[in-house]
Structure 1
Amino acid sequence: MKRMTMIAALLAAAMPLAALADGDDDGANGKLGLAGLLSAQNRETLPKLTLSAGAPLAEKPMTLKSGKYYKLTIEADGSQELALEGPGFFRAVWVNEIVIEGIEVRPLGVDSLEFDEAGEAEISFVAVKPGSYHLKVPGTTGDLQTVAITIE
């Protein structure tokens, strides 16, 4: 009897997900395609963040939507060894992958990224937990080296 109850509970939990994956890949009425959260109509590319000595990290704060899939490119110009940290932000998102020079890393958790020289990293993630967060260059206090991120 326990086994039947567990199977029934699993099926009931899976039904809403199955409804989203109905094969309708046109994005109409807010439906997602077979890839669910990772489907093309749920993706958005964010403005690039630039790590450079004395330059602003971002042009303006970012507002994200919970459940949406994002791609964020971080570029370091090599002017200085710089890192980008945001443990609160990285715990509020599900990181799908980090791509560095064509190498895909699928981490269980991220605290920061450090660039010893010029280069680029692309992070793809799903925003999950609503709140206010930030990414910043560690050890800095100025607004130029911080980007505020709100997940709605």
Structure 2
Amino acid sequence: MKILSILAALTLATPVVAHDLGFAGLLSNNNKEDLEPLTLSVGQPIADAPLMLKSGTAYEIEIEADGTGELALEGAGFFRAIWINEIVINGIEIRPLGVDSIEFDEAGTVEIEFIAIKPGRYELRQPGSTGDGQRIEIVIQ
């Protein structure tokens, strides 16, 4: 019984020790790619080209709304094909279990740090829009 208690304690302590020593693995600053920011603005395209991602790679992207309207991005398929480490809004870090959409009621910026997981073609789209400029295609290879 004592051996099981020791093993349990070591198992629980290992991630803390590894994190404290700076072994961040995929999410360390050396292994993360910064993507071009996306901009939400009434009547303007979200991006110029599709995002090309590689499965197993860590990324960080900024999404900025300029305040010209209440704007959102939805993309349940994309958000389910990635693992989100954190979403940062005004310096507040959020570690969600899942995301369906992000909405801006006023100007602001959100940073999303994630790992691309499931290969496929996805999109983020402004809800209710039909124009190609109000969407961005995302390809995970």
Q: What band does the TM-score fall into relative to the shorter chain?
A: 0.7 to 0.9
Residue 39 of structure 1 and its aligned partner are, at CA, apart by 2.4
Q: Deviations over 1:89-135 (max 9, x none)?
A: 00000000000000111000000000000000000000000000000
4+ residue runs over 3 A deviation: none
1:18-45 superposed Cα distances (whole Å, 9 cap, x missing partner): xxx9xxxxxxxxxxx9322112332101
Residue identity (%): 64
Q: What's the Cα RMSD here?
A: 1.6
Verify: 1:50 aligned to 2:44, yes or no: no
Structure 2: gaps spanning 5 or more residues: 1-17
Alignment of 1:1-152 (within 5 A): 34-152=23-141
Question: How many residues are matched?
Answer: 122
Per-residue CA distance 1:67-93 (angstroms, 9 max, x = gap): 100001000000010111110000000
Bigger relative contact order, structure 1 or 2 (CA pairs below 8 A, ≥6 apart): 2
- Find the residue that maps to 1:40 and give its secondary structure: coil
Amino acid at match of 2:124: L
Structure 1 residues not aligned, in runs of 5+: 1-20, 22-32
